Amino acid sequence: MIDIDPRQQQVSTLSDEGRLGEALALLQELYAEAECEPAPDRTRYFMTLFQWQLLTEKYPPACTALAAVRDEQAARLLAGELHAGREDSEASRKEPWRRVSRFALIIDMNRTLGDAHATRALFLQLEASQPELARRYAWQALPDIVEAGDFLLADRYRGNPLALLDEVNQTALRMPLFPPDGKAPRLGAELMNLAGEVRVGIAVLRGLGHEAQAAALRTALLAGLAAGPLRTLAERELDEPGTISRELGAHQMACENKALPGQATPA
């Protein structure tokens, strides 16, 4: 279970009371603490940046402050610091998969700020100075590069958008789309990744004027998936990005509510 810092609740209280400047100052404090920790994991940033995103919707100075920490993150990335937080050799060796990619953190900040062009600009800097790193990060940057309208750049880095199709179909033979008891929704996650790759491919093809190829790619995805909920959910994801994530979240919440005392339905 994730331990929630009580100051996170304090941020919510301050925001609800309209004390927005104080809420921002506390978020900045929480963020700065995470950045000073050796190899902080993702949970140290998740709630802070989520609440920061909510604050940007009603308090413009929160956007300015977030842009400032975004710029600092970008400078550190370009200087070769690939992970967020303070570097520590011992901490970095323990569960390295939990390390926070600085590039991914910057992308999240840019999406909160609605600044896809900043992601594209940073990616171009990486491409010029550290091309191997740019290739490694390209899959994360592609949606923002497409949103920024640079279809030629996106076309250089996108792979086969249907590469995950067989894997998704194989997983569908073994696992349900909505697993019981709150288990990890592996099939849903794989389907979300596949649909995301295809959505980027469609956008790039359309942006380059290849409408027929874009339509054929969509048809190939839907034809390649088994008819039923899998295909239906993939189609909805293409039309409304985020659908799969919302459906999985709703299912997870239903599972948790069912497990609460007094919530179980009679047999």
In a domain, 139, yes or no: no
Give how far Cα 10 sits from Cα of 7, 143, 211, 218, Å. 5, 34, 51, 46
DSSP assignment of 234-252 equals HHHHHHSTTHHHHHHHHHH
Structural domain includes residue 145: no
167/99 same-domain check: no
Number of domains making up the chain: 2
Q: C-alpha distances in angstroms, 164 versus 18, 159, 161, 167, 213? A: 47, 11, 8, 5, 19
Examine the domain organization and report whether 32 and 103 are in the same domain. yes
Q: Are residues 99 and 30 in the same domain?
A: yes
Residue 41 dihedral angles phi and psi, to the nearest 5° = -90, 180
Same domain, 171 and 77: no
Q: Are residues 108 and 165 in the same domain?
A: no
Is residue 28 one of the residues assigned to a domain? yes
Q: What is the 3-state secondary structure (H, E, C) of 110-152?
A: HHHHCCHHHHHHHHHHHHHHCHHHHHHHHHHHHHHHHHCCCHH
d(CA 257, CA 162): 36
Are 8 and 48 in contact by the 8 Å Cβ rule? The answer is: yes
pLDDT at 138 over 90: yes
- CA pair distance 191, 167, nearest whole angstrom: 9
Q: Is residue 149 part of a domain?
A: no
Write down the pTM of the prediction. Answer: 0.85
162 and 255 assigned to the same domain: yes
- Would you say residue 44 lies in a domain? yes
Query: Residue 267 — very low, low, confident or very high, per pLDDT cuts 50/70/90?
Result: very low
Q: Which of 28-37, 64-73, 112-121, 196-205 has the lowest mean pLDDT?
A: 28-37
Q: Do 167 and 110 sit in the same domain of this protein?
A: no
- Measured distance CA(5)–CA(126) in Å, rounded: 35
**Taking a C-beta distance cutoff of 8 angstroms, is the pair 145, 153 a contact?**
yes
Check pLDDT > 90 for residue 43. no
* Per-residue exposure over 147-183, b if at least 16 CB sit within 10 Å of its own CB, e if not: bbebbebbbebbeebbebbeebeebbeebebbbeeee
Residue 191 lies in a domain: yes
Residue 252 domain flag: yes
What are the φ/ψ torsions at residue 36 (nearest 5 degrees)? -90, -10
On whether residue 130 sits in a domain, the answer given is no
Average pLDDT, the chain: 90
Same domain, 49 and 101: yes
**Residue 81 neighbours by CB under 8 Å, 6+ apart:** 87, 102
What pLDDT does 160 receive? 95
pLDDT at residue 142, rounded to an integer: 96
Q: What is the pLDDT of residues 58-88, one digit of tens each?
A: 999 999 999 999 999 999 999 999 999 877 6
- SS3 state of residue 83: strand
Q: How far apart, in Å, are the Cα atoms of 211 and each of 162, 203, 206, 240? A: 18, 10, 5, 19
Helices 186-207 and 229-239 pack at an angle, to 10 degrees, of 40
Q: Are 101 and 34 found together in one domain? A: yes
Q: Pinpoint the alpha helices (H) of the chain.
A: 6-16, 20-36, 43-56, 60-78, 89-93, 102-113, 116-129, 131-147, 151-157, 165-174, 186-207, 211-224, 229-239, 243-259
- Are 17 and 109 contained in the same domain? yes
Domain containing residue 67: 13-87+95-114
- Could you tell me if 171 and 229 are in contact, meaning their C-beta atoms sit under 8 angstroms apart? no
Residues 37 and 86: beta-carbon distance below 8 Å: yes
Per-residue pLDDT of 121-137, as tens digits, reads: 999 999 999 999 999 99
Q: pLDDT class for 94, splitting at 50, 70, 90?
A: low
Query: Are 110 and 165 part of one and the same domain?
Result: no
Find the largest Cα–Cα distance for the chain. Answer: 63
